[in-house]
Chain A
Amino acid sequence: MSTLEIRDLQVSIDTEQGNKPILKGVDLTINKGEIHAVMGPNGSGKSTLAYTIAGHPRYKVDGGSIRLDGQEVLDMTVDERAKAGLFLAMQYPVEIPGVTVANFLRTAKTALDGEAPALRTWIKDLRSHMSDLKMDASFAERNVNEGFSGGEKKRHEIMQLELLKPKFAILDETDSGLDVDALKIVSEGVNRAHQATDLGILMITHYTRILRYIKPDFVHVFVDGHVAEQGGPELADQLENEGYDRYVTASAAAAAAAGN
């Protein structure tokens, strides 16, 4: 069985004010087919975790490990991680001038499969994935994310998820900025991918409303660079009612105790 295993992950970034630790020992294990929701206050390091798994150069790993089926992900380049089966749906997808969606996706698919997809089935595939996410066919000829609305960018991310068929997907606030209809369309896409390939999912979110569509097996509370609490779906409802106060206070107290 496929497993993504994060152990004692410590990550910092270099800022103008010097090195700043952000992840302070993250432990998290995701098995194939499981859906994990990660919730936590702004700035607690959720996106940092997502980007670090994907290998963004800005983040410096100071310790710990990320293993995919026993293989050290931290030793892999960004593209090797994708080839190993990791996918990140970004909180803020990037616009790339002069590069069409069709070209981009075909290049990505070719890189992942090691051979170019057969032209005929490829075009059909692309069309059907686009229409599944209610994206007009004209998007294929537009430049990657250029001039896309916030919601269109998110749909484009999930379209890629379905097309590229990873083993594990990290969804960084894919639900943010979506209207009710788009939320449903995007959630259905995630659920399709989940069923089709028994995808393991790490879903970062601020809102319980997406959990109505995508049912998590586990919920993690992320505070101050680590997992402060984990539980089942009921934990999400509790957070919705009580907020993060309790964890933030506990974390601050622990930090103060450690400092003294």
Chain B
Amino acid sequence: MSATPATTDTTAGPLVEPVVRPGSTGHTDGAWADRPVPVQTRSERFASTDPAAFPAVTGREVDWKLSPVQRLRPLIDGQLDGSPYAYLARETPGASVEWVGPDHELVGAAGKPEDKASANAWSSVENVLLVTLSGDEASSITVGRSGLDQTPRAGHTVVHATANSSGIVILQNSGAANLVENVEIVVDEGAHLTVVSVQEWDDDAIHLSTQFATIGRDAQLKHFVVSLGGSIVRVNPSAHLAGQGGDADLNGVYFADAGQHLEQQVYVNHDAPNTKSRVNYKGALQGDGARTVWIGDVLIGRAAPGTDSYEQNRNLVLSEGTRADSIPNLEIETGDILGAGHASATGRFDDEHLFYLESRGIPEEEARRIVVLGFLSEIVQRIGDQALQDRLQASLEQELAEGARARAEADAQHGSSRAAAYTDKLPGSGPTPTAAGYAAKLAEAASTEGTV
């Protein structure tokens, strides 16, 4: 049993320093560090579909204390619009989508709200969007939402993969949003399901999403959270490995720009023999006030001998003024396990990576771009849908280019310490690049994307 929290605050410091290795991340969060055993095991957390059953949210709760609660009040406590909304679906045979009533038998099949906002959404929706994968051939469906507005709104989606079916469900989010929702994922016996939740919202969007999965006997869920756009995006996926031989592969990739809050609280509950889980989240932070939170809880219960589990989170810090929290947490209630481990690291560019690329003639800014893209692509490449992968890869490149441009502008204005950090890197007595000169260099590099 262990709790290894890590918070890295990067309000100061050099531009380039080696990536911090696992176990040596920045300053830690005392409240978690001082606690050898969780006060309350994760499986005992209170759950209810009634928001009134939860005490008022103070912002000090373990699951809220790293979130900007004040800006989430309308979604946590307020009145929500629970009417159906417009969506766009593209599916192959074997996949379907329809609105059903909230009394549908599958509603509640994967879990129950564990926080007040989730319960508020649950009790507010008039309809539930049911996505079904069935049939023998692998099928795919993309459900896109882009017509939401600023009105606080509730949503509820159920993704159901019937026994032995296989396929991919892509939940594609863009445009405006002020949304709190529950997504239930029901993976029946022997099914192989991939669910990708893509958040490419407008800059001012707010999105809280609790995604509950229940994974049946010998079934597999591959889950991806891709959070790129939005002001506050908090996606909390959980996987209940309820049947023997179940497999949960939970992945995430996120890129926080200036002022963005991207959060994910992941929970894996090993609750049957010989189950396997892998959690792998990678993030990058760039720009003033870019903020990410990752909390990874893994519970290996008494009913789960033969568990094989590993979780990791890595964050790459690309500029000053960002903050990444990374808190892995492992609870083990049975002695008979195959393996359980976790890793967490938050740090700057690895000097050695950049040097290697630059020593082959690749300019510094392009080397950075390649290293960051490589770091994040590792997750994207595993989605298994080439068209989506290509599109996300392009989105990541754009995020990077925009960030580099913004940094260059900021540097040109402030004549900041970045140019100094840059000159420190150059041995020898060469001419000192000015801040403006370096900014120009960055801007120039930013506009040369797509040469790889």
Contacts and interface: CB of A to CB of B under 8 A. Distances in A.
Contact of A59 (B356, B358, B427): B427
A57 B424 contact: yes
Given A78-B364, A98-B375, A107-B370, A57 B357 contact: no
Contacts of B358: 55, 77-79, 82
A179 B307 CA distance: 41
B16 interface: yes
Contacts of A74: 427-430
B451 A57 contact: no
A164 B424 contact: no
A106 B371 CA distance: 15
Interface in B341-358: 351-353, 355-358
A94 B355 CA distance: 9
A88 interface: yes
A97 B364 contact: no
B429 A61 contact: yes
The secondary structure that dominates the B interface is helix
Contacts of B367: 79
Interface in A41-98: 52, 54-61, 72-79, 81-83, 87-88, 90, 93-94, 96-98
A93 B355 contact: no
Nearest to A93: B356
Contact of A96 (B356, B427, B428, B430): B356
A56 B428 CA distance: 11
B338 interface: no
Nearest to B350: A94
Interface stretch (A109-117, A207-215, A221-229, A242-250): A109-117
A57 B359 contact: no
Contacts of B431: 75
A98 B378 contact: yes
Contacts of A87: 359
Contact of A60 (B362, B366, B370, B427): B427
B451 A94 contact: no
A83 B427 contact: no
B371 A79 contact: no
Given A90-B356, A98-B377, A61 B370 contact: no
A76 B426 CA distance: 8
Given A97-B374, A98-B374, A107-B370, A164 B361 contact: yes
Contacts of B364: 77-79
A190 B364 CA distance: 28
Given A90-B356, A96-B353, A98-B376, A55 B361 contact: no
B362 A107 contact: yes
Contact of B375 (A52, A56, A57, A97): A97
A172 to B, nearest CB: 12
A55 B362 contact: no
Interface in B70-86: none
Interface residues of B, number: 35
Contacts of B451: 107, 110, 116
Contacts of A160: 360
A111 B364 CA distance: 11
A108 B362 contact: yes
A97 B378 contact: yes
A99 B376 CA distance: 10
Given A61-B428, A75-B429, A103-B452, A82 B360 contact: yes
Interface in A115-154: 116, 143-144
Contacts of A82: 358-361
B355 A78 contact: yes
Nearest to B429: A74
A102 to B, nearest CB: 10
Contacts of B357: 96, 104, 107-108
B16 A57 contact: yes
Contacts of B352: 94
Given A57-B16, A57-B351, A60-B427, A79 B363 contact: yes
A107 B366 contact: yes
B244 to A, nearest CB: 33
Contact of B370 (A99, A112, A164): A99
B359 A55 contact: yes
Contacts of A116: 451
Nearest to B362: A111
B356 A94 contact: yes
17 contacts: A55-B358, A57-B16, A57-B424, A57-B426, A57-B427, A59-B427, A60-B427, A61-B427, A72-B428, A74-B429, A76-B430, A94-B355, A96-B370, A97-B374, A97-B375, A98-B374, A107-B370
List the 6 closest pairs (A to B, CB-CB), nearest first.
Answer: A98-B374, A74-B428, A75-B430, A82-B361, A78-B358, A57-B425
Given A75-B430, A76-B430, A96-B353, 13 more contacts: A11-B427, A52-B427, A55-B427, A75-B429, A79-B358, A79-B363, A87-B359, A93-B356, A94-B352, A103-B370, A107-B452, A111-B362, A116-B451
